[in-house]
Chain A
Amino acid sequence: MSKKTAGGSPQARNGGARPLVRPLSPHLQIWRFHATMLGSILHRMTGVGLVAGAIAVVAWLVALALGVDAYACFVAYAASPLGLLVWFLFSIAAFYHLAAGIRHLIWDTGAGLSIKTANALTNFSFVFTVVATAAFWAWLVMTGKVQP
C-alpha cells in the first residue's frame, strides 16, 4: 500500500511476521480521465450488467417452460416501460461488451497497443455501441416486433 514497501521480496518486507497485505487494484477515483480508462471501466460495468441480463434470459426460459399463463405474466413485465428499459440497457451492454471484447482480442495478439491506436479502437467501440443499439431498436420497432 505505501511506497515504503517497494523493493525486496514480499516476505522480506514484513519479515514473514504478519499476513501479507498486498495492494488492491487502483480504484476509480485515482485515475485521470482518458479514453481507454473509460473503456475499461465500462467494459467491467457492462460485463457485470450482462450477468443480470443473462438471469433475465433464464427467467424468460423458465416462464416459457412453466406454460402459457406464466409466459403471459413474464411478457406483461418484459413489455412494460420498465421492462423495455431493462432490455434496452441489456442491449447497450451487449453491444459495448462485444465491441470492447473484440478490441481486447486484438490487443491480446500484441497489435494496436500504441496510445494513438488504443484510443482509436476504444473510441470506435463507443461509436459502434451507439450506432448498433440505435439500429437494433429501430429494426425491432419498425418491423412491429416491439411496440414502444
Chain B
Amino acid sequence: VSETPLKQVGPSAKHGAGTWKAERWTSLLLVPLALWGLWSVGDIAGAGYEGAVAWLRQPVNAALLLVTLAISAWHAVLGLHVVIEDYLHGGFGVFLLRLTTLMGWLLFAVAAGAVAVVFFGLGFGV
C-alpha cells in the first residue's frame, strides 16, 4: 500500500520527517514503558508513604519512571501539537504550540526534581 518504505522517510523541507519519526519512536518505546507503569501501580497502590518511598528508591524504578515521564512528555507535546494544528490556525495556535512545549518541559522538570528529592532523601519527610 505504501509507496515509500519506512526506512526512506525524509528528508523533508523543515522538521516534518523528524517529527514523524519522533512520533513513532516515542510510541514504540511507550508500549513497554506503559505496561511497566501499569504493573507498578500494583506496587504503589495501598503501600502508603513508606512503601511508595521504598519503591521509588530502587534505582531501576527511579530510572524507568524518569525515562517514562520524559518520553511521555515528549509524546504528549507532539500529540497536542497535532490537535492544535488541526483546529487552530494563526497567532493563538502558535502561542498554544509554544505553551504546550513549555508545559511539557516544566512538567518533566518538576517530576525529575521530585524523583531526585525522594531518591536522594533530600526531603522534608523521612
Contact = CB atoms under 8 A, between A and B. Distances in A.
B39 to A, nearest CB: 10
Interface residues of A, number: 44
Contacts of B102: none
A127 interface: no
B97 interface: no
A75 B45 CA distance: 9
Interface residues of B, number: 44
Interface in B24-39: 24, 27-28, 30-31, 34-35, 37-38
Given A61-B115, A71-B125, A98-B31, 8 more contacts: A24-B89, A61-B118, A65-B113, A67-B123, A67-B124, A75-B48, A98-B35, A145-B47
Interface of A: 22, 24-25, 44, 47-48, 50-51, 54-55, 57-58, 61-62, 64-72, 75, 91, 94, 98, 101-102, 104-105, 108-111, 113, 136, 139-140, 143-147
Interface of B: 1-2, 6, 24, 27-28, 30-31, 34-35, 37-38, 41-42, 45-49, 52-53, 56, 69, 72-73, 76, 79-80, 83, 86-87, 89, 107, 110-111, 113-115, 117-118, 123-126
